[in-house]
Structure 1
Amino acid sequence: MSQQRNTLCQHHNEEFLAIEKTESDKKEIKLCLRCLANGYKGNVVIIDKQIQNVQNMKTQLIQSRKEQIKINIDQLEDLIKNITTLKQFYDDEINKISKGVEEWIKKFENMRDLFEENINKQEVNDLQEFLNYINQFQSTQIKELSESKIDINKLLQQLKEPDILQACDKILINIQSFPQLFQEVTVEKESEKNKKVKLNIFCKEHQSNRIKFFDLWSEKISSRSLACDQCFDDYPSQNYKSVKFAHKQWNKIVQKQQQSMQNNLLNVKKTVYVMNQDMQQIQNSIKKSYENYFEKYITNYNQYELNVEKMKQEMNLPWELLKEDKLLKIVEDMNKSTNSDDPLLVQYTEQNDLVNQIMKDNFLSLQECTFNQIKKFNPLIQNQIFEQMTTQQKQNQPNNNLIEKIKEVPKNNSLQEEQNIRKITKTNFTYHLIKESSIKEQQQCNAMAFNKDCSIVLVGCNQQIQVFEFKQGMMKQTQILKKHENNVITLNFMKNSNQFISGSEKDGWIIIWSLNSINNQWVLQQKLKKHSVGIICLVLNENEDLFVSGDFDKKIIFWGKKNEWILEQTLDLGQRLYALSINEEQSRQIICSFETEIFILEFQQQKWIIQQKILVQQKAIRVSFISNNLFTVQSFQNDLLDIYEMENQLGYIKTRGIKVMRGQEEECLFFPSQYIKSKNLLVIKNCQYINLIKIKENRELIVENSIQYQTSKLYGSISDDGEYLITWDQVSKEIQIRKLQES
C-alpha cells in the first residue's frame, strides 16, 4: 500500500481500494475489494494504480524541473556576461557618437567665427564682387565640413542591432518557464506519436523498394500482404493501408489487449479474494459447528462420568454399612448370568449413540455448508462437480446425502430445466448427401440462400451471384449476376416479395435485387453504400421493413423501407462485428464483436439502444436467438455452445453450456447459425463441423448429430423448412446439397 488512507468504504467499513465518479451528482463512491468482488460495475478507478501513476509523474516532473532549472541558470549566466559586454559596447559607441558630434559642432562654430571675421574685413566697393566672395568662401567651408562629417546612420545602425544583442535574444528564447515545460513534454509526445514509421524491410518482388503498405483485409497471408510503392501501383485492387495506419491500428489493438489483461488480472484478484472469503466462511462454519457439537458432547459426557464415579462409590461401600434393600440387590445381581456387565450399560449405549449422532450431525452440517458454497458457482461448474462426485460415488460409495442435495440444485427460475452438460448422442437425424446434385466450383463460395419455397438457390462465388433453379435437390443454373466488385458475403431472400439483398466485403456495397416477372430475370433495383469497409453480417426482420447490416468499420446500420430503402439509424460500437440475430418479438438484437463483448440492443422510443453488454472469455463468432428470452453463442474455437437466458433483474446471463463437435483447424468467418422453429432445430458451424442441435419441449438442447468436413473453410445455409442443407468447402470445391433424413 503506497500510503495510509483513513477513509473507509461506506458499504463494508473496510479500507477502500477504488473510487467511481458518478456523472449525475459528481460524487465519488469509495469501493473496497469486497465491493469489486461482488461484481460492482461502473467507471471504476483503482487508487493504488493512480497513486503510482501520480508518483511516477511527480518523479518525472521533479527531474525535468531540475534539469530545466540547471539549463536556465547556465543560460542566465551567459546572458549576464553578454549584457555586460553589450553595456560596454553601447558605452563605447555612444562615446564615439558624442565625440564626433562635439567635433562637428566645434567646426561649425569655427566656420561661423571665420565667416564673420572675413565678412567684417571685406570692404564692399562692388556688391557683385562681394557676393561672389561670400559664395566662394561658403563653398570652401561646406566642402571642408562634408569631408569631416560623421556617418550618424552607420553609427546608429551598429547601435541598433549588434551581434551581441542577437545572442541575448537567443538566450532569452531558450530560457523556459515551467508551464512551457509541460507543454513541451506534450508536444514531444505528440511528435513521437505522429512521427513517420519507417520499416527496414524491402519488397521481395521489387527488392530495392522499402515496404510501405500492408494488406489488412485478406483472410490469407500472401507475398502481397507487404507491399512497396510499385506494388501499390501494380495491384490497385488490393486494399492496401500505409505502415503508419497499420502501426496506429496495431497500437490500438495492443492497448486493448493490455487493458483486457489488466481487467482479467483484476478479475482473478476478485476471484482470489472471494475464494479466500468463502474458505474463511467454510472454516468458520466448520469451527462453529465443531464447537457446538463438541460442547453438547462434553456436557453429556461429564454427566455420564459423574454417574460412573457415583456408581463406583456405591459399589465400594463397606458391607457393614449396607442396608437390607442393597444387600438384596447384590444377591439379585450375583444370581444373574450377566453379572459382569456394566451396570450403567444403558447409559453407555446412550452415550455411544449420542457421540455417533453428534458426529453424523456434524458431518451433515459440513455437507450443508459445502453445498451452500457450491450453489454460489455458476451452473456449469455445479454440474462438473456433480459429475465428478457421481464418479467418486460409484468408485468409493461415499455418503449419498450431498449427492442427493446437488441433484436438487434449484433449476432456472423461469424454465426449471436441468443444468447438465449434455454429450453428443448419435441418432438417425441427419442430412444425406445427394451426390448427383453436386456441382464443381473452383471459386470460393462465401454465401448461400434458399428462397421461401425452395425453388431458387443463390450462391455467392467471389464477386458473382450464381442463380440456380432448384427442384427436389437438383440444381440448374439460370443466371449470373455481376454487379459487385468484391466478394459477396451475405445473401438474404425476402419471403413477402420476389426480392433479395446481397452485401460484399471491402467495398461496403449493399444491393437490392428484384425479379422481373416478364423475363424471369433478376435485376438490380437499388444500391446502398454507407459502410466504409465491407459487409460482414446482415439480418432482415419478419415484416421485411427493416434490415440491419454490420461492417468491419465497427458500425451497425439500420435500414428502413419507405418507397425505397433508406438509412434510419447508425450505431458505432467501436468494435468490428461478427454476427447478428433478432428475437421473435423483433424487439431485441444480439451482436457479437471481434472483441470479447456481446451487445444486446433493444428498440425503445423509435430507436435502437444498447441495453446490455456481456463480457465473455473468448470472442463470440456466431449467435442465434431461440426464443425471446434465450439465445446461444458459439465462441471462437470452443467445443462448448453457451446458452444465455433472461433474468428479470440481471438481464441475459449464461446458465449452461452443451458440448459440440469442433475439430482442430482454425475457425473461419461467415456461415451464420440458423434456427428452424418448425423443426426446433439449430444448425451451427464450428470449425470443420456442422452441429445439428434439437431444442426439446423443456428447452433442453441436445446435439442430435454432426456433419464432419475436411476443412474449416466451409460455408453454407439451410432452407427455411429445414429440409435441405447447401455447402461449399475448400477441399471438395463442390457446391453440395444434403437432404434431411429423420426417423
Structure 2
Amino acid sequence: MNQNCNIPDHETDVEFLCTNEYCKDFRIFCFKCLQNEKHNTHIKDVQKIKDYGREQINRSDEDLVQDLEKMIDQIFHLFFTFKEELKFGYQISEEELNGLNLIQLNDLLCSKIKFRKEKQSLIQAIQKNAENMIETMYTGLNEFTQQQYDRPGKKVKQEIKTLKFDLIDQIQDQQINSFIFNQDGSLMVGGYESSKIQVFNFKKGQLKMIQQLNFHKKSIYCQYFMKKTNEFLSGSCDKSISISYLNNDQKWDLKQRLEGHQGGINCLVMNKNEDLLISSSDDMLIKFWTKENELWECSQTIGGHSSFVSCISLNESGNSLISCSKDSQILIHQYDQVQKMWILGQTIRIKQWGRRLCFINDIIFAFQPEKKEQMHIYHLDNVEQLFVKTQEVLVGVGSERKKNRSCFWFFPQQYVQSKQIILNKNGCCVNLIKKDSNNDFVTIQSIDFQTKAIFGRMTDDGEYLITWDDRSGSIQIRQFIE
C-alpha cells in the first residue's frame, strides 16, 4: 500500500494492520510504529497488509455460514422429531385400549391431559423463542443493510440519503381509516371508523375542521378527491359509494349514492379524465362506473378473484388495471378498444398474498406481500408483453407486542411523481422508497409506529405525510425535509 504512515516523523509507507477488537490505536501503521512498541500487547493480531486479502475475509465469512447451516440443520432435525412426537405421542391402538381395565383407562386419561397441558406450555415457549430469534435476525439484516449503504465507496446519491419526513404536529382524534387531499393540498378529508366524514382546511401543516358529514351508516374504508371538480367520493362498509360536492352555499352536500356491491368498498380509483370510476369490494368483484347525463352508472362488473379484492391501481394511460387479493393472485386487466370492455390479460400467481400495490407508470408497478420485509417491483417485458418481477426492495416491517396480529387495511400504496417516492405501509412501518433515473428503488426512511393499525396518505405534491395510528391515538403530520 503506497500510503505514508499518519505519524508525520515516520515518513514511511504503512505495511501492517491490527485486527484486535479492543485495540484503541490506529489500525494501519508502519514498521517504525512497531519499533515504538505500538500494538505490542497483542502482537499476534498484527498482520502484513498484503497478507490480509479477500481470501482470508471470505474464509471467515464461509466459516460463519457453515456454522449457521449446522445450526439450521440441527433445528430442522429437532423440529421434525418434536413434530412426530406431538403427532404420535400417547397414541394407543383400539386393541390395546380394549385390553385396559378402568384403573388403567383412568391413568391413561390423566396422562393424556397432563401431556396436552405440557405440550401447550412447551409450544408457547418455543414460539416465544422463535419470535425472539426472528426479531434478532430482522434487526441484524437491517443493520447489515444500513452498513452496506454507509460503507466507504458505496455510491449512494447525497440527495437520497438526506430525504426524510419530520414530525411537526400531533392531534388527538378518533380512528381515521382514510385521508384524501384536494389537488392544491388546501383541503383534507378524513373518513372515520365511526362512519362520519370530516372536512379540514389544511394550511402549512395546520388542520382546522370546517364541516362534518354523515352520509354513511358504517365505517369509511376509502376515498378519492377529484382533481377537475370540487367533488370527492367515499366508500364504506355499508356497501355504498357517496359522491359529495360543494354547493352554492360553499357547503359539502351529497350529490349521488352508488349502490351495487354486496360487500364493503375497499378501494376507489379514477382515470385522468375523471370520466371512469373503478371500485373494488369484499364481494370479490370490481365495478366500472361511467357518467350518463351527469350521473354515474355501473357499465361493467368483473370477477376473477376468489377472495376479497384488497387493492386496485390504474396505470398512467388508463388502459391497464391491476388488482390483488387474499387468493394469492395479481390480476391484470386491459381495456379492449374494439369491444369497449375490460378483459383479463395476465394472471400472476404469488407465494404470499398482499394488501397493497400501485402502478409507478405504464410499465412498472410495486407490490407488497403480507408480513414480508421486501417490496416487489414488476416490469413489463417488451417481447412477451407480460409483467415479470425484476427487483425486491428491502423495507421495514417494524415491531409490535401483538406479533401474531395481521397487517391492517385502508392504507393504499401511493406514488408521488414529483418526488419519485413510493409510500408503502408494511406491518408496523411506513416506508418511503425512492426511485432513481435507472428505475432502481431504495428505501430512504422507515417510520416504526410499533403498531399495525396505521392509516395515512401524502399530499399530492409529496410535501406532507399524514397518519393516524392506534398507539398514539392521534393524527400525526410530517413534513418533507431535504
| TM-score interval, smaller chain | 0.5 to 0.7
Report the 3-state secondary structure (helix = DSSP H, G, I; strand = E; otherwise coil) of the residue aligned with 2:418: helix
Of the three residues 339, 343, 346, the one matched with 1:609 is 343
Per-residue deviation, residues 59-82 of structure 1 (Å, max 9, x unmatched)? xxxxxxxxxxxxxxxxxxxxxxxx
- Among 594, 604, 620, the alignment partner of 2:354 is 620
Distance 1:736 1:397 in 2: 46
Instruction: Give the letter for the 1:739 counterpart.
Output: Q
After TM superposition, give the deviation of residue 586 of structure 1 in Å. 1.0
Distance in structure 1 (CA, Å) of the matches to 2:175 and 2:379: 37
Q: Distance in 2 between matches of 1:591 and 1:706?
A: 25
Q: Which residue, out of 397, 419, 430, partners 1:662?
A: 397
Which of 212, 223, 243 matches 1:491?
223
Q: Deviations over 1:460-518 (max 9, x none)?
A: 1120001101111111110000010010011110000000000001x2110011011x3
Give the gaps of 5 or more residues in structure 2.
1-52, 62-141, 151-160
Q: 2:162 aligns to what SS in structure 1?
A: coil
1:728 is the counterpart of 2:477: no
Q: CA deviation at 1:396?
A: 4.1
- Structure 1 length as normaliser, TM-score? 0.43
The answer to whether the 8 Å contact 1:673/1:684 transfers is yes
Shift of 1:393: 7.9
Q: Deviations over 1:585-610 (max 9, x none)?
A: 11111100111110001001311111
Give the helix-richer structure, 1 or 2: 1
* C-alpha distance in 2 between matches for 1:653 and 1:591: 15
Q: 1:392 to 1:481 in 2, by over 3 A?
A: farther
Task: Tell me the equivalent position of 2:258.
Answer: 528
State the AA in 1 paired with 2:231: Q
* Residues 69-80 of structure 1 aligned to structure 2 (within 5 Å): none
1:694 aligns with 2:466: no
- Matches of 1:672 and 1:645, distance apart in 2: 20
RCO greater where, 1 or 2, for CA within 8 Å and sep 6 or more?
2
What residue in structure 2 maps to residue 719 of structure 1?
Answer: 459
Deviation at 1:519, TM superposition (A): 2.2
Which of 159, 167, 175 is matched with 1:433 structurally? 167
Which residue number in structure 2 is paired with residue 682 of structure 1?
Answer: 422
Q: What is the Cα deviation at residue 663 of structure 1?
A: 2.1
Distance 1:453 1:613, change over 3 A: same
- SS in structure 2 of the partner of residue 679 of structure 1: coil
Give 2:43's aligned residue. Answer: none
Q: Which of 431, 444, 460 matches 2:175? A: 444
Give the conservation status (yes or no) of the 8 Å contact 1:592–1:620: yes
CA contact (8 A) 2:223 2:267 kept: no
| Post-superposition CA distance 1:154-179 (Å, at most 9, x none) | xxxxxxxxxxxxxxxxxxxxxxxxxx
**Match of 2:244?**
513
Aligned-pair identity (%): 37
| Alpha-carbon contact 1:450-1:458 (below 8 Å) kept | yes
CA contact (8 A) 1:514 1:524 kept: yes
Amino acid at match of 1:491: Q
Shift of 1:547: 1.2
Unaligned runs of 5+ in 1: 1-389, 399-420
Helix, strand or coil for the counterpart of 1:627? coil
Superposition deviation, residue 432 in structure 1: 1.2
For residue 267 of structure 2, what is the aligned residue in structure 1? 537
Structure 1 residue aligned with 2:203: 471
- C-alpha distance in structure 1 between counterparts of 2:298 and 2:234, whole Å: 16
Alignment match, 1:631? 365
Partners of 1:391 and 1:528 in 2: CA distance: 66
Please provide the CA RMSD for this pair. 2.1
The 5 A counterparts of 1:245-264 are: none
The secondary structure found in structure 2 opposite 1:567 is strand
The residue type equivalent to 1:613 in the other structure is T
1: CA distance, partners of 2:347 / 2:262: 25
The equivalent residue for 2:114 is none
Once the two structures are superposed, the pairs formed by residues 588-607 of structure 1 within 5 Å of their partners are 588-604=320-336, 605-607=339-341
Q: Which residue identity lines up with residue 589 of structure 1 in the other structure?
A: L
Q: How does 1:637-652 map to 2 (within 5 A)?
A: 637-647=371-381, 648-649=383-384, 651-652=386-387
Mapped to 2, the partners of 1:601 and 1:524 lie a distance apart of 32
Matching of residue 555 in structure 1 with residue 285 in structure 2: yes
Residue 295 of structure 2: aligned partner: 564
Number of residue pairs aligned between Structure 1 and Structure 2: 326
Q: Name the CA distance, whole Å, in 2 between partners of 1:729 and 1:628.
A: 33
1:650–1:480 Cα change, 3 Å: same
Q: Tell me if the contact between 1:692 and 1:704 (Cα under 8 Å) persists in the aligned partners.
A: yes
Residues 306-325 of structure 1: per-residue CA shift (max 9 Å, x gap): xxxxxxxxxxxxxxxxxxxx
Q: Report if aligned partners of 2:398, 2:450 keep a CA contact under 8 Å in 1.
A: no
For the residue of structure 1 that corresponds to 2:445, the secondary structure is: strand
Q: What's the offset of the Cα at 1:707? A: 1.3
Return the TM-score normalized by structure 2: 0.65
Checking the alignment, whether the CA contact within 8 Å between 2:398 and 2:449 is kept in structure 1 is no
**Contact persistence 1:598–1:620 (CA under 8 A):** no
CA contact (8 A) 1:688 1:710 kept: yes
Distance 2:232 2:385 in 1: 38
2:319 aligns with 587
**For residues 385-411 of structure 1, what are the alpha-carbon distances to aligned partners after superposition, in whole Å with 9 as ceiling and x for unaligned?**
xxxxx987842499xxxxxxxxxxxxx
State the distance in 2 between where 1:440 and 1:431 align: 20
